[in-house]
């Protein structure tokens, strides 16, 4: 069931209890976790934090902790599956689920006792009504039988045959109705569960809880902003929704900035200041050089087509058009001349309009504390994602999770900077892979979708054995492909990307993303498609990830899986 008053029904219930927090591995979940941890510290609530990377982890974690904990809080996992059936908990375990995955499973919505959803009810859910999915079949049978009996007892036995026929007719009628109802139910459920998409950020939900309890601080506000920006960077929500949520956050930011206005009582420079920025869409440009950032950002790279020689010339023209000397542009942004930095945003916007890039600026937030530290929300998202999916050293996932979680605190700036270095390497690797895929025509059109497979020897392929990195690569690749192909039909196709995940076990990671368009609603149907294809060819797949459009597959079963998909989708 949906929780209406999050403070009374969730926070006050768990405030005096021990709670188990099961947190998924994405940045929005990390930010939500940080906010909740800060609230728990204020009120000295005992909790245990368990990072979970997939359904198996969730099951194991639940089994380990079910004896000690009665209350479980699940962040960004668990809403899109019948949780009670999967975990088989005891009667008194209560689950609070705050998840952005939609559609929410109908059993989770209509369970009154054990599952509490920390999700806003008007959040674009479209849940079918109770009567359309559930009905008490017992009552119908009993009603029918008692009607039968009373008929039989009130009439003498001579007329029984006639009444029996009447009763049989009624039963046939009832069964036909039931079959029709079931067919309708299957159709409704199929429509409801066909497309997978994302709802409001979990970090924003918990920030609202903090705000309602008047315990919100600027740190929590910043984490909520990072959670929202994560949804935009990884292309999980539509642009409209992002802008609406930014407006909500802007109200909170102005409320917190109210105190800064007073000149007499100005705040110390070490205090955190969050400001609304209409800033450039160049990833990490303030911590890199402008030239590198333009070369490695998806938006600019795709519009200039930087994998071609022509594109590189256009980039040089673009820089010359703005009057920026190459020497300035190639050095670190912080060391660029002040005169250039002052009007940079407006200058770039003007020039980029000439080159067909109308949306080079995006609404976002920046933070500023101390004399040196200025970050944009998207910088932090990239840095933390790189730390979370770090493949450089052989560390297990829990260590990476803890490191990424720590980097979100203001006191761990070193870790944040190391995350930014990793993010730069990742972006450069993505850029090179995209360039090589397009130049060597690795993207094949299979009919209903496009397909690309990264071979094992590809440089940096280890980076792409992680789901978020591979998803980011596929989105960039699709955008670049659309710019480079002449075939109009291919531009409307979705993309399936496969990369080797574990060389020893011989598995590949397969990711499916919806087609790219201006008015895309980001709804992904590959989850169900993958399931059906795996079933029909009995391929050895592992649907472990919380996003159903990301699966692991044995390398040998690749071709028959693809063939099944082609037949399924055409």
**Which chain residues interact with another protein by CB under 8 A?**
41-44, 215, 217, 259, 264-271
CA distance 308 to 311: 5
Nearer to another protein, 69 or 222 (CB): 222
From the CB of 143, what's the least distance to another protein, in Å? 57
Nearer to another protein, 41 or 179 (CB): 41
Closest among 386, 408, 393 to 466, alpha carbons compared? 386
Q: What is the rounded (10 degree) CA torsion for 428, 434, 438, 440? A: 70
Reduce the DSSP state of residue 39 to 3 states and report it: helix
Nearer to another protein, 42 or 63 (CB): 42
Main-chain phi, psi angles of 486, to 5 degrees: -100, -15
From the CB of 214, what's the least distance to another protein, in Å? 8
From the CB of 373, what's the least distance to another protein, in Å? 16
From the CB of 542, what's the least distance to another protein, in Å? 44
From the CB of 518, what's the least distance to another protein, in Å? 44
From the CB of 215, what's the least distance to another protein, in Å? 5
CA distance 542 to 550: 9
From the CB of 264, what's the least distance to another protein, in Å? 7
Nearer to another protein, 22 or 220 (CB): 220
Nearer to another protein, 264 or 518 (CB): 264
Q: What is the DSSP secondary-structure string of 81-141?
A: S-HHHHH---TT-EEEEE--EESPPHHHHH--SSEEE-S-TTSS--PPPHHHH---HHHHH
From the CB of 413, what's the least distance to another protein, in Å? 16
CA distance 461 to 543: 22
Nearer to another protein, 142 or 270 (CB): 270
Nearer to another protein, 157 or 411 (CB): 411
Nearer to another protein, 214 or 440 (CB): 214
Helices (H) and strands (E) in the chain, counts: 24, 16
From the CB of 267, what's the least distance to another protein, in Å? 6
From the CB of 47, what's the least distance to another protein, in Å? 15
Supply the angle between the helices 467-484 and 377-388 in degrees, to the nearest 10.
120
Nearer to another protein, 140 or 270 (CB): 270
Q: Are strands 450-453 and 444-445 parallel, antiparallel or unpaired?
A: antiparallel
Nearer to another protein, 216 or 245 (CB): 216
CA distance 514 to 524: 5
From the CB of 406, what's the least distance to another protein, in Å? 18
> Which residue carries 């850029």 as its tokens?
431
Contact 182, 137 (CB under 8 A): no
CA distance 427 to 284: 10
Burial 6-29 (b: 16+ CB within 10 A, else e): bbeebbebbeeeebbbbbbbbbbb
Which residues, in sequence order, are CB contacts of 468 under 8 Å at separation 6+? 26, 234, 385, 388, 389
Q: How distant, in Å, are the alpha carbons of 163, 167, 168, 539 from that of 174?
A: 16, 10, 10, 41
Contact 111, 84 (CB under 8 A): yes
Nearer to another protein, 170 or 256 (CB): 256
From the CB of 125, what's the least distance to another protein, in Å? 33
Q: Which residues is 496 bridged to in the sheet?
A: 451, 512
Nearer to another protein, 67 or 264 (CB): 264
């Amino acid at each position: 069931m949906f929780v209406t008053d999050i403070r009374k029904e969730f926070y006050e219930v768990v405030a005096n209890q021990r709670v188990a927090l099961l947190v998924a591995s994405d940045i929005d979940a990390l930010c939500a976790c940080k906010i909740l941890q800060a609230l728990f510290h204020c009120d000295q609530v005992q909790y245990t934090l368990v990072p979970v990377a997939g359904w198996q982890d969730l099951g194991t974690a639940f089994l380990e902790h079910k004896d000690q904990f009665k209350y479980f809080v699940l962040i960004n996992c668990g809403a899109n599956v019948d949780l009670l059936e999967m975990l088989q908990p005891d009667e008194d375990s209560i689950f609070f689920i705050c998840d952005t995955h939609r559609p929410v499973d109908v059993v989770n919505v209509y369970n009154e006792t054990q599952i509490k959803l920390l999700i806003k009810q008007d959040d674009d859910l479209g849940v079918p009504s109770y009567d359309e999915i559930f009905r008490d079949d017992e009552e119908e049978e009993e009603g029918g039988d008692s009607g039968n009996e009373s008929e039989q007892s009130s009439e003498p036995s001579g007329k029984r045959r006639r009444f029996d026929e009447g009763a049989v007719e009624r039963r046939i009628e009832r069964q036909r109705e039931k079959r029709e109802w079931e067919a309708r139910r299957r159709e409704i459920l199929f429509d409801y569960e066909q497309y997978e998409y994302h709802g409001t950020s979990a970090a924003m939900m918990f920030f609202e809880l903090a705000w309602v309890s008047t315990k919100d601080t600027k740190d929590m506000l910043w984490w909520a902003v990072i959670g929202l920006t994560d949804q935009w960077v990884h292309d999980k929500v539509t642009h409209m929704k992002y802008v609406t949520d930014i407006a909500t956050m802007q109200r909170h930011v102005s409320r917190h900035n109210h105190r800064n206005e007073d000149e007499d009582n100005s705040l110390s420079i070490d205090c955190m200041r969050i400001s609304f920025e209409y800033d450039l869409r160049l990833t990490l440009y303030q911590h890199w050089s402008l030239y590198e950032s333009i070369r490695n950002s998806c938006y600019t790279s795709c519009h200039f087509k930087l994998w071609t020689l022509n594109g590189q010339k256009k980039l040089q023209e673009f820089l010359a058009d703005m009057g920026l000397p190459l020497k300035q542009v190639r050095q670190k942004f912080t060391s660029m001349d002040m005169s250039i930095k002052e009007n940079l945003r407006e200058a770039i916007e003007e020039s980029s309009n000439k080159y067909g890039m109308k949306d080079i600026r995006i609404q976002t937030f920046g933070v500023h504390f101390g004399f040196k530290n200025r970050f944009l929300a998207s910088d932090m998202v990239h840095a933390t994602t790189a730390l979370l999916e770090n493949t450089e050293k052989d560390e297990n996932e829990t260590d990476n999770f803890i490191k990424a979680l720590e980097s979100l605190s203001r006191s761990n700036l070193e870790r944040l900077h190391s995350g930014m270095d990793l993010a730069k390497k990742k972006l450069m690797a993505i850029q090179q892979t995209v360039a090589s895929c397009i130049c060597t025509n690795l993207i094949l059109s299979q009919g209903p979708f496009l397909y690309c497979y990264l071979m094992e020897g590809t440089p940096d392929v280890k980076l792409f054995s992680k789901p978020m990195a591979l998803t980011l690569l596929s989105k960039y690749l699709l955008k670049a492909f659309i710019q480079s192909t002449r075939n109009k039909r291919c531009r409307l196709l979705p993309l399936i990307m496969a990369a080797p995940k574990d060389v020893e076990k011989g598995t590949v990671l397969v990711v499916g993303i919806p087609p790219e368009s201006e008015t895309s609603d980001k709804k992904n149907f590959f989850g169900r498609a993958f399931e059906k294809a795996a079933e029909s060819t009995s391929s050895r797949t592992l649907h472990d990830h919380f996003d159903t459009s990301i699966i692991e597959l044995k390398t040998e079963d690749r071709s028959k899986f693809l063939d099944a998909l082609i037949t399924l989708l055409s």
